[in-house]
A and B are shown apart, each in its own frame.
Chain A
């Protein structure tokens, strides 16, 4: 109710005409443990123009009273199916995977992104401002190219198309490639060799191809930015030995930029990962031996990685029932709680916030968001309490400086069914 009022207030104000100042808030910048009490943040034309303690408010600025509130950067989902899947179990609404496609690495998720997906509205209300929309692998270990999207209304949804390539290794990669890990690595070697051959001599690509290798020209083309490092290679690998194999990629393909996804046993080789400078995207709640590649799963994983100096992002990855981007702050909070358990390894509150803001921004190459700094995009969330707490919620969200609606299909359903009593007309009529 309060948030709806606040939104009404914000919506009445033209978004771009004047600067906006949020005053009196506790500002968590997501840079280290920096907290600004009684802070002011000013943004204009979609960018942060000033941030500090009790700053003067420029004349004509729209003032948002942030007293008793906490201001953070927008949450960034480093891996998601936002915008590309509406109902997971209804195939025709789900563009994540394409098992029957003749193509793999070339699949470009940006062509599927639907800004009007109801999950975008629901996630935005929960403070998620940007996300990577990643494909699922079909019949090739290379799944295709993920898109970076904005969850904002009124602005461009696509932040960057073809931002990363996604690849399966480990048990899933082995299964897809024909039944074993060596089959997956052979597929990788073959596809990258074909990509190199194409790059060297595009005109000759169709001649001299190993007829059994069957790498499509489009797929080979799509792997060029992986090989030269323009595009990060997201690799799903959980077993420590699989992770070690991924780390060897750089020796063969010097420019390649792998990012580990899942990485449930990463803590066993944390020092190696840190030395290789490879970031990790994982979930904070993995703690069961769900399969033989995750025997060493523990919620200590993130804490160990952080301590070793690895850049870690917490993402709504599969394998934990009901996982959604909406719950990212809670997942981060759980990583803080883990540190309180005797023998537990976790994150500080600042590290945990960074794991869902600054770190995913860094990993995804979103250099102009993820922290609250002058010059960065005004992707902001104003919370009614500790943002990592389960019972807190945003009271306002800005994306590129535009105040976002705080309603969704869910809130409309709740309002419709709040009172069940029979009236003159069925509930499906406006009241």
Chain B
């Protein structure tokens, strides 16, 4: 309704502009533009506003810029919420806060492409279990953000671990789990106040054991891996037909041969899938086994969509060449393995092997504890790769934590690396950040200092923890 009204206003503005243009030449009254009904593009827009940022210059640090570059004894200036300058020497404006980081390290903020913070918040009581709409194998109509509890204490812990953006996904009980959304670990009173502005939505999909177990146990489709694929293909076929109906209607409406009441009914499940088919929504696909990833790739070709990233992907190392050829990222743990059958072949060299094949490697958490130490996971992966004979530099490994996940979330043009013009999402580390002894000292998000290990006033406490045992204690 609201969007139709907006549409009406937009038409009026266009009409007025057209009028003004034509006035100069020929005063022929133009026909009113046709009324075209469209689904609203962004009905839950971000209401995030960066907090005040002070111009800051950090000097003397070793910098991993997140794009694969290292600067020793580097300098960086954060200004107006963005990276203003980076290099061996940068301008220090009058009034700037200057931090001598000699012997310390500066990196691009860490981005976790796979989190359930907010949808499975702490405390993990049943009343907070909001991550799996396990009432049908396909629930693409649900949006993770509508389950997010903005007061999850986990956001504060993630921030203290150097996280500057995170992607919150529904769980993997369903083949189609719903939409994922990208947030900043900046507390808001509503989820909209935490949303990364302009970040595309994702569709969480899952293959393998989880969907077939959940629904097979209820004696319904899918109970097998072939059932998984069959169910998903039928839905992609339905989505294709749905998109065709809308495209057809839109064409006719734009040509003035369809009335608003001819517009197809919006079906929210298929609307999400339609968004995938048109490339606006990115597919984040939970999948462990190599052979299943290959099946999913064939399915995506059949229906003309693209998988942006396979998540968990413990067997990506078996098809790293295929993943490179397809341009699909793998979002992986460093060393989780063996806890279920489809994780049986997990190896610690997975990330390094994917990287070595030239495919896109991402370190993810899928865990409220792991998200606090993704740098440590990357360290283990880098070490395993080196022992296998690959020369992996720390500055290269940092791309697994920042620019690669940023690209995998469609925000790589705005964050993920310390390049002039990008958001000032920055972490200052107490030591080399792949060392177990390193901890974030300060974390900036859009140039605002949101965490400072030495200043209790720069360390958030979630509502839930207020007045509870342990409040005020360093976590």
Which chain A residues have a beta carbon within 8 Å of chain B's beta carbons? 1, 3, 86-90, 118-119, 240, 265, 268, 285, 287-292, 294-300, 320-322, 324, 326-327, 330, 333-334, 336-337, 340-345, 388-393, 410-411, 413-414, 417-418, 420
Contacts and interface: CB of A to CB of B under 8 A. Distances in A.
B341 A87 contact: yes
A393 B157 contact: no
A414 B453 CA distance: 39
13 contacts: A3-B387, A89-B209, A288-B368, A290-B122, A320-B367, A320-B369, A330-B380, A333-B436, A343-B474, A390-B380, A418-B349, A418-B389, A420-B318
B415 to A, nearest CB: 25
A291 B370 contact: no
**6 interchain residue pairs of minimum CB distance:** A296-B470, A321-B367, A333-B436, A89-B340, A391-B383, A296-B469
A390 B341 contact: no
A337 B473 contact: no
A292 B468 CA distance: 10
Given A89-B341, A292-B123, A320-B369, A327 B469 contact: no
A344 B365 CA distance: 24
Interface in B168-194: none
Interface string B342-363: 0011111100010001000000
B383 A393 contact: yes
Given A87-B341, A294-B123, 6 more contacts: A287-B369, A288-B157, A296-B468, A340-B437, A342-B474, A391-B434
B439 A290 contact: no
Given A87-B341, A295-B468, A295-B469, A410 B348 contact: yes
B376 A330 contact: yes
B474 A344 contact: yes
Nearest to A333: B436
A contacts with B: majority SS:
loop
B439 A288 contact: no
Contact of A336 (B124, B336, B383, B436): B436
Interface string B314-349: 000111110000000000010111111100111111
Nearest to A291: B123
B51 interface: no
Contacts of A420: 318-321, 357
B347 A410 contact: yes
B295 interface: no
Contacts of A336: 436-437
B438 interface: yes
Interface in B366-413: 366-370, 372-373, 376, 379-380, 382-383, 386-389
Contacts of B340: 87-90
A298 B473 contact: yes
Contacts of A337: 436-439
A390 B435 contact: yes
B465 interface: yes
Nearest to A89: B340
B345 A413 contact: yes
B contacts with A: majority SS:
loop
A308 to B, nearest CB: 15
Interface in B436-475: 436-439, 453-454, 456, 464-465, 468-470, 473-475
Contacts, number: 167
A288 B464 CA distance: 11
Contact of A298 (B370, B438, B475): B475
B224 interface: no
Contacts of A327: 335, 380
A289 B437 contact: no
B468 A87 contact: no
B125 interface: yes
Contacts of A330: 376, 380, 436
B369 A288 contact: yes
Interface of B: 122-125, 153-154, 157, 209, 317-321, 333, 335-341, 344-349, 353, 357, 365-370, 372-373, 376, 379-380, 382-383, 386-389, 430, 434-439, 453-454, 456, 464-465, 468-470, 473-475
B271 to A, nearest CB: 33
A340 B474 contact: no
A297 B154 CA distance: 12
A289 B462 CA distance: 11
A407 to B, nearest CB: 12
A291 B383 contact: no
Nearest to A421: B321
A403 B54 CA distance: 58
Nearest to A332: B436
Contacts of B347: 410-411, 413-414
B115 to A, nearest CB: 11
Contacts of A3: 387
B475 A390 contact: no
B436 A341 contact: no
Interface centre among A300, A340, A345 (most CB of B within 10 A): A340
Contacts of A417: 317-318, 353
Contacts of A90: 340-341
B112 to A, nearest CB: 13
Interface centre among A89, A389, A392 (most CB of B within 10 A): A89
Contacts of B367: 320-322
Interface centre among B347, B380, B436 (most CB of A within 10 A): B436
Contacts of B154: 288
A311 B135 CA distance: 48
B369 A285 contact: yes
A5 B344 CA distance: 27
Nearest to A287: B475
A256 B365 CA distance: 41
A290 B475 CA distance: 13
B435 A414 contact: no
A414 B317 contact: yes
Given A89-B341, A296-B473, A390-B383, A322 B435 contact: no
Contacts of B346: 410
Contact of A393 (B209, B336, B387): B387
A265 B468 CA distance: 12
Contacts of A299: 474-475
A341 B439 contact: yes
A157 B344 CA distance: 24
A289 B157 contact: no
Interface centre among B154, B376, B389, B469 (most CB of A within 10 A): B469
Contacts of A297: 470, 475
A255 to B, nearest CB: 32
A290 B473 CA distance: 16
A261 B49 CA distance: 44
A291 B120 CA distance: 12
B338 A87 contact: yes
